[in-house]
Amino acid sequence: MKKIVCAFSGGLDTSFCVPYLIEQGFEVYTIFVNTGGTTINEEKKISNRALELGAKKHLNVNVELKLWNQIIKPLIWSGSNYQDKYPALCSDRYLIVSEAIKLCKKLNTKYISHGCTGMGNDQVRFDLSIQAFGNYKIITPIREIQNKVSDVRGYEKKYLTERGFKVSSLHTKYSINENLMGATVSGSEIDDWKEPSKESYILCSTPDKYPTKTKKITIEFAKGEAKKIDGKPIKGADLLRMLNKIGGKYGIGREIFAGDTIIGIKGRFLFESPGISILQKAHRALEESIFTDKQNFFKPTVGKKWVELVYGGFYFDPLARNLETFLEDIQKPVSGKVTVLLSPGRADAVCVDAKKILISKDAIYAQSASWGVEESAGFIKLLGKSTSTWTEVNKK
């Protein structure tokens, strides 16, 4: 039998993939890549599910540290979100592919499978990433059946029950994808452009449960990387998990997004990213105090392009590494403390304490300066010379 590696989550789609691939003549090896949204007990359930479905072997891999270093750090450095709104919570897909390819190499097979449909963005991210690793044969069971049946999910459930496999009651009206970065929710009334119900709240409290008092926290950065909260050292993954919990109580980072997908259709979903939102706000406040005006104007261009590549499936394109090199280099002076005020739905950077804030000894904005009125007037005259010359030349 041909060996195949299947990226497995334990959900309906990937559960369908295992017996389907076996019936196609494959010996299936499943892998679950934990990117921070799954407990150890849930991992055990996923393992049991894979083996119950007929997988030859199952592997669980935790990549929280890699997610922090390879995805979250450059995302915060970028200061950007897809279409200025979505913080690319889908970026963990690239680590899933990386780990699946490692298993392919270990098993000496070129066959790899995933449970993406033909209607979404993830199929593009998975396929492009796999292609970036070489000549692999991608098998996609859900895409294979979607043109043959009208109700794909109904077909999957029937397929599994007819073979004696239980279909989990967890397959509710929403499709929920949660990782260390946050949670993405789609389906049901969200897809219909209607108001999401209270059931759609995952990391965030509902508005009626927001705290009545504001809260201040201090985040300390070293070379652009968050290292401490309120003076206590804490590692990246745990730091973000803490901020998700604190910020979630205030409903920070919850947005409804109707975005332009890679495949050319509108996609509507909501997402919650309390920790990312707080880090972005604090990090930007520190940067804008330390960078020169030229750096502040140019860096967002680089950050926006990096996010576009990651969202669009091109994380493994060399340009992404080129941009990360710039982003890492420009972070060298970005060290200091930022106090963030949390209130319902908001995170505001209210205080910045850093040694390299660009405060001039010669002037304080709108208060005092070491130059006189003649110098100011002369500067403004020269600054507007092109415009005033155009006016003079183009007089009727």
- Report the alpha-carbon distance of residue 238 to residue 71 in Å, rounded: 15
Q: Which residues pair with 267 in a beta bridge?
A: 259
pLDDT at 173 over 80: no
| In the chain, beta strands by DSSP E | 2-7, 26-34, 57-62, 111-113, 137-139, 175-179, 182-186, 215-222, 225-229, 232-233, 254-260, 266-272, 336-343, 346-353, 363-364, 368-369
pTM: 0.92
CB of 76 closer than 8 Å to CB of 68: no
Of 173, 206, 222, the one marking the end of a domain is 173
Q: In what order do the strands lie in the sheet with 182-186?
A: 175-179, 182-186, 266-272, 254-260
Per-residue model confidence (pLDDT) at position 153? 86
Give how many domains the chain has, as a whole number.
2
pLDDT in tens, 47-106: 999 999 999 999 999 999 999 999 999 999 999 999 999 999 999 999 999 999 999 999
Tell which wins on pLDDT, 372 or 268: 268
Work out the percent of the chain whose per-residue pLDDT is above 90.
84
Lowest mean pLDDT among 17-26, 156-165, 166-175, 314-323: 166-175
pLDDT at 170 over 60: no
pLDDT in tens, 255-282: 999 988 888 888 899 999 999 999 999 9
Beta-carbon contacts of residue 4 (< 8 Å; ≥ 6 apart): 21, 26, 27, 28, 29, 109, 111, 112, 113, 139
Average the pLDDT over 346-350 and give the result: 98
Specify if 273 maps to a domain: yes
Of 353, 370, 390, the one marking the end of a domain is 353
Residue 47: φ, ψ to 5°: -60, -50
Average the pLDDT over 127-148 and give the result: 96
Kindly report the average pLDDT of the chain as a whole number: 94
Residue 366 pLDDT class (50, 70, 90 cuts): low
CA-closest candidate to residue 28, choices 64, 2, 47:
2
Residues 249 and 114 in one domain: no
The tokens for 297 are 């104007």
Residues 124 and 194 in one domain: no
Average the pLDDT over 343-357 and give the result: 97
Per-residue model confidence (pLDDT) at position 329? 98
Q: Which amino acid belongs to residue 209?
A: K
Per-residue model confidence (pLDDT) at position 326? 98
Domain at 34, CATH number? 3.40.50.620
Residues 316 and 217 in one domain: yes
Residues 124 and 167 in one domain: yes
Domain extent for 107:
2-62+88-173
CB atoms within 10 A of CB 325: 10
Per-residue model confidence (pLDDT) at position 365? 64
Lowest mean pLDDT among 8-12, 77-81, 124-128, 204-208: 8-12
CA-closest candidate to residue 226, choices 69, 84, 1:
69
